[in-house]
Every structure is written in C-alpha cells, then in structure tokens.
Amino acid sequence: MSTSLTIRRPDDWHLHLRDGAMLKAVLPETARHFARAIIMPNLVPPVVRGSDAAAYRDRILAALPDGMAFEPLMTLYLTEDTDPEDVAAAHASGLVKAVKLYPAGATTNSASGVKDFDRIAPVLEKMAEIGLPLCTHGEVTAAEIDIFDREAVFIDRVLDPVRRAHPGLKVVMEHITTSQAADYVRSVDRGLGATITTHHLVINRNHILVGGIRPHYYCLPVAKREEHRLALRAAATSGDARFFLGTDSAPHPDHLKEHPCGCAGCFTATNTMSVLAEVFEQEGALDRLEAFVSLNGPGFYGLPVNEDTITLTRGDAVTYPAKIEAGGETVTVFDPGYPLHWRVDA
C-alpha cells in the first residue's frame, strides 16, 4: 500500500464562501489546500451583474490571510432579467468563469432564481456563442415531485430540453446525487460535466435519518439511497474526465442547522482532502485521485492545471477541529463517521 501521494494542487469547482465574518472564517479552510475555486453567487442579495462579481472578488481577496494564495473563479447568478450583454462583458474581461442556474425555490438563497426557463433563452444563446459554461442546481421544485426524485426529474424536464435547445452550451450538473445523473453525464460525449461533493461519496440518506435526525448531514440535493452513493463513488474514482470535485462546502451557523427548519448545506472545506484520500483508498483508486481533484476540472473549464503540488501521507489518524468559529458563531465540520489517516502537506 502506498503511504505517500504527491499530486498537482487541487481546485474546488463548487464552493460557498458567503461574505463578511463567515467569509473570513471559511476562506483559509479552502485556501490551505486548494489553488482555485468556482465561487457560488447565492449571497443575499445575489451576485447578478458583472459589477457585483467584481466587488465580491475584491472582498474575497481582501479576506485572504497574508501569505496564502488563492484564485476565486467568479460566477453570476442567473435571473429572468439577466442581461446577455452584461454576462458577455464579464466573461470577456476574464472576471467570470460560469453562470449559475438556480430553479427558484430549489435551495438556499434561490428565491431570485428562474421560474420560466423560456425567459433565459437569450442569455443561454449568448453563453453558447462565447463558450461560457452554465452551472446548474439540478432539481425541479414542483410541489408534487418527491424530494428524492427531484434531480432525476430535472434531467428529463429541464436539463435535456435546455441542452437540445442550445446544443453549443457547456453545462455542469452540479453536486450530482443519483445514478441517473451519472448515467446521463456519461451518455454525452462533449460539453457536459458533473461535480461530485465529498459528502455524497460518504453518506446516504440513512445517515441523515436513522437513530435520530442529523441536521449536519442535511444538504441539497439531499443524499439518496446507498445504490446512488455507490454509483457516485464509481463515477468519481473512474478517472472519467467528465466528473470532477465540487465540494459544495456550504457553511451555516450551527444555530441555523440545529433548528426546527434547518438550513441545507454540509461544511467540508476543512477535511475534504483527507476524506477524499480515504474514500479513494477504500475504492483502490488512489492513482485516480489527482484526475478527480486536479485535472478533470481545469480540462472541462479550459484552464491550465496547477503547477505546484500537495503531498498526502498515510499515518495515524489525523485530527481536525469539530467546529470552526465565525464571527461569534460556530460552524460544524463534516464528520465522515470514521477516522481519517491521510495528512495533507500543502
């Protein structure tokens, strides 16, 4: 068994940094190991225009501790009123690397998202023309659709029709949670990729509900049956270039997670690389970890891979904080439920 693994420095292709004190608290947790991340725009109010993204990027860079390097890859929050020319300008300047589609009401801070998909056709047309990827929160919101089916139904009702209407559009299905999503991505040769989170490789829906309700495992899309977790592990560890890491690390203060109407999101930035090394080791796929975390994402986005490296070393169980502090509140770090043995030297 290998005890040391050096890989190109990873990137995170789906990350929530929030703002203010929370941003200051969580940014080092990612920047410690990751060179770049696609920054989700679901602030309140959302990051809609290029000027919003520029200001948010400046706040992120200002929050970065001295001596740490990190490149935020900015995104815009797609609304029914998004101006295609503003999107094109933000892309042309190099500021924005993707546009994010939230179906209205699908997840945290998605109230300004899209209800009528016909209204975003002109923006999607422009994005296809200029080669700017669309990142999707892939769940329908129709009340009659069971929450465990919302991702699979999204593929049929929204994603496939949108892709057919805009054949040149590059699309990332974010945080996939089902075998249907993995199969759909594999059925398309070009222009479709998927991010997979750390936590969806570890937990299934029993982790949330058996023996008491565990709010820190509640995220959206919600974790599904075991067969889906296994399908995600197969996809992530396959080396297939269409699948790459997007942690969806999504911090919420503990009092809003442990609440009668608890927020969705798992905070995984702190221990993601140790968890992933453990998962890939369990699958006998340590030689494919670098593809998943460091190569496939830049390949899809057309960006260079990172030149420097990190080293993972196997040894005694590693320790990491159970919680981090953010502006007088605490955020619970994802607990995989088993010891982690891979230390990260970045």
d(CA 334, CA 207): 12
Q: Which of Zn ion, ligand NCD, none is residue 42 near (CB under 5 to 8 Å by kind)?
A: ligand NCD
Question: Quick check: 36 binds Zn ion (CB under 5 A)?
Answer: no
d(CA 257, CA 79): 27
Question: Quick check: 248 binds Zn ion (CB under 5 A)?
Answer: yes
The packing angle between helices 20-31 and 50-63, to 10°, is 70
Q: Which of ligand NCD, Zn ion, none is residue 346 near (CB under 5 to 8 Å by kind)?
A: none
* Alpha helices (runs of H) in 192-301, residue ranges in sequence order: 205-209, 226-236, 254-257, 272-282, 289-290, 296-301
From 219, 232, 277, 340, residue interacting with ligand NCD (rule: CB under 6 A): 219
In residues, how long is the chain? 346
Show the binding pattern over residues 262-291: x = contacts Zn ion (CB under 5 A), - = does not. Answer: ------------------------------
d(CA 141, CA 147): 8
- What stretch of H or E contains 345? strand 342-345
CB of 139 to ligand NCD, least distance (A): 8
Q: Is 66 a catalytic residue?
A: no
Stretch touching Zn ion by CB under 5 A, among 206-214, 240-248, 255-263, 319-327:
240-248
Question: Quick check: 137 binds ligand NCD (CB under 6 A)?
Answer: yes
State both tokens at 321.
């904080």
Q: Which of ligand NCD, Zn ion, none is residue 219 near (CB under 5 to 8 Å by kind)?
A: ligand NCD
Stretch touching Zn ion by CB under 5 A, among 44-52, 107-115, 273-281, 332-340:
107-115
Q: Which is catalytic among the residues 11, 52, 240, 248?
A: 248
User: What contacts 322, CB < 8 A, 6 or more positions away?
Assistant: 332, 333, 335
d(CA 126, CA 170): 12
How many residues at the interface with Zn ion, by CB under 5 A?
Answer: 3
Site for ligand NCD in 259-298 (CB under 6 A): 264-265
Cα–chain center distance at 288: 19
d(CA 139, CA 220): 9
Distances (CA, A) of 112 to 79, 83, 345: 6, 15, 40
State both tokens at 233.
């592990």
State both tokens at 7.
């890989």
d(CA 59, CA 21): 11
Is the CB of 238 or the CB of 330 nearer to ligand NCD? 330
Question: Quick check: 254 binds ligand NCD (CB under 6 A)?
Answer: no
Nearest Cα to Cα of residue 329 among 30, 39, 56, 26: 26
CB of 226 to ligand NCD, least distance (A): 20
Show the binding pattern over residues 139-178: x = contacts ligand NCD (CB under 6 A), - = does not. Answer: ----------------------------------------
CB of 204 to ligand NCD, least distance (A): 16
Question: Quick check: 23 binds ligand NCD (CB under 6 A)?
Answer: no
Stretch touching Zn ion by CB under 5 A, among 53-61, 134-142, 191-199, 234-242:
134-142
d(CA 205, CA 159): 24
From 8, 33, 100, 137, residue interacting with Zn ion (rule: CB under 5 A): 137
From 96, 220, 235, 293, residue interacting with ligand NCD (rule: CB under 6 A): 220
Q: Which residue is nearest to Zn ion (CB)?
A: 137
User: What contacts 191, CB < 8 A, 6 or more positions away?
Assistant: 163, 168, 169, 170, 171
Q: Name the residues that contact ligand NCD, by CB under 6 A.
A: 16, 42, 107-108, 137, 219-220, 248, 250, 264-265
Q: Name the residues that contact Zn ion, by CB under 5 A.
A: 107, 137, 248
Q: Residues with catalytic annotation? A: 248
